[in-house]
Chains A and B, each alone.
Chain A
Amino acid sequence: MKPVKRRMKRRPPVVAILSAVVLAAVAVCAAGRELLAPHALDQDVYLGVVGAGVEGHLLGTDQLGRDILQLSLAGARSALAGPIVVAVGSMVIGVLLGTFAGYRGGIVDMLAGRYADLLLALPSVLLAIVVAGLVGRGYWVTVAVLIVLFSPSDVRLVRGAVMEQTPRPYIESARILGIRPTRIMFRHIAPNIVPIVVANLLLNVAFALVALSSLSYLGLGVPPGAPDWGRQLADGRALLGDNPLAAVVPGVLIILTATAVNLLGDWLSELLDRRVVAR
C-alpha cells in the first residue's frame, strides 16, 4: 500500500528565483524607460512595417515604423504601475471594509455583503469594459474602475479571515481588558491576517495586469500611441503576416510577467501558510 500522506515537497526555490528575476527585469524597464528605450515612440512612416533584423531593428517595426524592441521595453511601465495600484487600492478597501464587517457584523456586514454580491454577479472584465467604455477612457480612469471591481473579493477574503480570529481567546481577553474596538481590529487582529493579505496582493497584481492589458487591447486603457503591451497586441493583429513579432513579443511578455507574479504569489502564500501553521 502507498503511504497515506505524502508530504508535499517544497517547491524548488529555482522557480521563485526565476520569477523574481523576471519581475526585477520588468521593474527596471518600467523605472528606466526613458534611459533604456529613448526611441520607443519615434515613428518612421516611410519605413513602415519591416520584419526582424531589418535596418538595425532587431525585432522589426510596426505599421508606424516604431521599433518593437524599444516599444516593448517601454510598455513595462503601464504593465506594472497600474496593476500594483489596483491591487493595493482594492486591498486597502478590502482591509478597511472587511475588518469592520468581520468584527462588528450587523449592518456594516450586511451592506458589505450585498455590495459584494452585486458586483460578483457580473464578470469583472465585462463590467470594466462597460464602465470604462461609457464613463471615460484613459489609463487611470480604468485603474480606478478596476479598484472598485476588484474590492468585493478582497472584502470577502479579509472578512472571512477576521471572523476566524474574532472568537479566539486573545481577542476575548483584549475585550475584557477594555481595549477600544478600533485598537483591537487594527493592532491585534490585523497582524494575524497579514499573510493572507500579502499573498493575495500578488495574485491580484497578476489578475489586474491581465485585466488592464485586456482593456488596452480593446482600446479602453492607455491612449492611442502610448507604449503598452495590450495596445501593441491590438496593433499587431493586422501585422501577423508582415512582422508577427509585433504581436508575439508583447503577448509573450504579458504571459511571462503575469506567470512570474502568480508563481511568486503561490510560493509566498505557501511559505506564509506554513509559518502560520508552525506557530
Chain B
Amino acid sequence: MNGAVLAFALRRAAATLALLLALSLLVFALLYLAPGDVARNLLGTRNVTPEALARIRELHHLDEPFLAQYWWWLSHAVTGDFGTSIRTGGQVGPLLLDRTGVTAATAGLAFLLSVLAGVPAGIATAVRRGRPLDRVIVAASVVGVSAPGFAVGLILLYVFALGLGWFPVYGTGEGFLDALWHLVLPAVALAFGLGAFVVKLTRAAVIRELDQDYVTFARGRGLSERRVLRLVLRNAAIPIVTSLGLMVAYLFGGTVLIEVTFALPGLGSLMEESVLFKDIPVVQALTLVVALVVSVTALAVDLSYLAIDPRVRARAVRR
C-alpha cells in the first residue's frame, strides 16, 4: 500500500516536472517572439561595430541554434543564474531576490486576510442559505469578484490615505511595524477580490455537503447542529483547500497591478517595468519563477490529500 502511494506521488511529481519543462520552452520562445535584436539591446546606445555585435552574440551564445541556446539558458537557470538584466546591467538572480520580500509580505498578508474573513463568512452564509445575511454577503462577493484590484486600491487610497489620513499613500516604510502599516492598504485591495472568491467557493462546498444524505441521517439520529456542522466542515475542507492552492496563481496576477498602484518595489512592479522596457532576461526569469511556485503549490495540494483523506489514498492506489 505504501509503495503504491509513493509511486503515485512520484508520478505526480514527474508530471509537474514535465509541465515545467514545457513551460520553460514556451518562456524561452518569448525571446524569439519579441521584436528587435537582443545583441543590439544588450549593447544599448553604445557605438555598435560589427565586431562588437559578433562578440556579444558569441558571448551570449546567440549564434547557436535555438535548442542549443535553450539548453544553455536552462542549464544556467536551474542553478539560479538567469543571466544579465538589459535594463540595469546587473545579475537577474540577485535582482529577483531583492524584490521578493515586499511581494511575499503583501501576498501573504492578503492571503491571510482573505482566508480569515472569507472562510467564516462562507460558512455563515451556507448555514443561513436564502436569508438576508446570505443575500447581502453573496451580493457583496459578486462585487468583490468583479472589482479589479487596482480600482479598489485607488479608491482605498483616496478614502483612507488621502481623505482620512489613516494610512500612508506610497512607499514601504522603515522598521517592521511601519513597513506592515504601509502594506495594509495594498493587502486589503488584493484581499478584496480574493476574499470574495473564498466566500463563493466555501459557500458552495458547504452547501454541497449540507445536501448530502449523511447530514439528513445525522440529524435524524438527533445529533446536535454543532456536531453535524463539524462533520460537514471536515468534508467540505477538501475542495476549499484545493482552491486555496489555485489562488496562489491568482495572487501573482493581482500583485502586479497592486504593486504598480501603491508604488511598491516588489516582483510585480519589476515585471511591469521589465515588460515595458523589453528586459527579456528578467521577464523570462520572473515567468519561470512564478510557474515554478504555482505548479509546486498545485503539487503540494494534491499530495496533501494523500495525507488528509483516506478515500483519495485508496483511489490513488487503485489507479
Contact = CB atoms under 8 A, between A and B. Distances in A.
B78 interface: no
Given A123-B294, A125-B253, A129-B275, A251 B30 contact: no
B162 A218 contact: no
Contact of A210 (B146, B155, B249, B256): B146
> In which size bucket is the chain B interface?
35 or more
A255 B22 contact: no
The secondary-structure label for the interface of chain B is helix
Contacts, number: 144
B33 A251 contact: no
Nearest to A215: B257
Interface string B202-222: 000000000100011001000
Interface stretch (B59-67, B171-179, B283-291, B306-314): B283-291
B112 interface: no
Contact of B271 (A121, A126, A244): A126
A123 B253 contact: yes
A177 interface: no
Contact of B147 (A135, A255, A263): A255
A258 B162 CA distance: 26
Name the interface size band of chain A: 35 or more
A122 B33 CA distance: 18
A4 B19 contact: no
A218 B257 contact: yes
B43 interface: no
Interface of A: 1-2, 4-9, 15, 114, 117-118, 121-127, 129-131, 133-136, 206, 210, 213-214, 217-220, 233, 236-237, 240-241, 244, 247-248, 250-252, 254-255, 258-259, 261-263, 266
Interface of B: 19, 22-23, 26, 30, 33-35, 129-130, 139, 142-143, 145-148, 150-152, 154-155, 157-158, 162, 211, 215-216, 219, 225, 249-250, 252-254, 256-257, 260-261, 271-272, 275-276, 278, 280, 283, 287, 290-291, 294-295, 298
